[in-house]
Amino acid sequence: MRLPPVGLGTMGIENPGPITTALDVGYRHLDTARIYGNEAVVGDALPASDVPREDVTVATKLWIDALGEAEVTPTARESADLLGVETIDLLYVHRPRGEYDPAMTLPALDRLVESGLVDAVGLSNFEPADLDRAHDVLDVPIAAHQTELHPLFYRPELVERAREGGYPLVAYSPLSGGRVDEVDAVVDVAERHGTTPEAVAIAWATAKEPVVTVPKASSRAHLRANLAAADLTLDPADIAAIDAVERERELFPE
């Protein structure tokens, strides 16, 4: 699946205005989830924009209480209805927990693709062993893996898995939960380039092929700034300095 370097993370967005603005300024990838409780908000934003539906990748995720074989299909249908789409472009397993059973859940997702309700299947917050098992069970290709990734939490082995698997690694919370301006290495790089720590964090992530990002923003100015950050080119020394940050500050542990 080809995804733009910067998409919009919608967790916490409660009205369609910021999403419509995002589409108007150039976003073409919207990321939501059942657990966010705002699929209908995303659905309201899509027709409010002049951007053709077929130009936008709409992604959502099944929560851990809807991963049983009997729950996958009706939950996905409800998500499609809330989103106002005939086909969900990208449907993730949000976490391999709760009712998740790869032998039951993943074939149910294959059937959703066969039916046309879902175009592509993604995985989210999977460990390497979970990725291996999913790869063995799924008939359709893994279209994307979404995981937390930012200057304070970075797992290069997951980037390498995505590279080997030929799918994008979708980085959520790329701005470290709003704390990138507290990371000295990021601030130093931003000062050298005359830009913001937020721009540097996004540029650092997207420099790691095949990483793409889904930062959340609401104002037009922040939406534009995040989108433009992917055009910032960092020097190898800049990337190495951020790579060397002492990390393991996971914002969304299991």
* Residues tagged active-site: 36
The pair of three-digit structure tokens given for residue 240, joined into one six-digit string: 């190495």
Amino acid present at 195: T
**Residue 215: count of CB within 10 angstroms of its CB:** 24
What is the C-alpha separation between 220 and 28, in angstroms, rounded?
A: 15
Distances (CA, A) of 48 to 16, 51, 122, 235: 8, 9, 27, 40
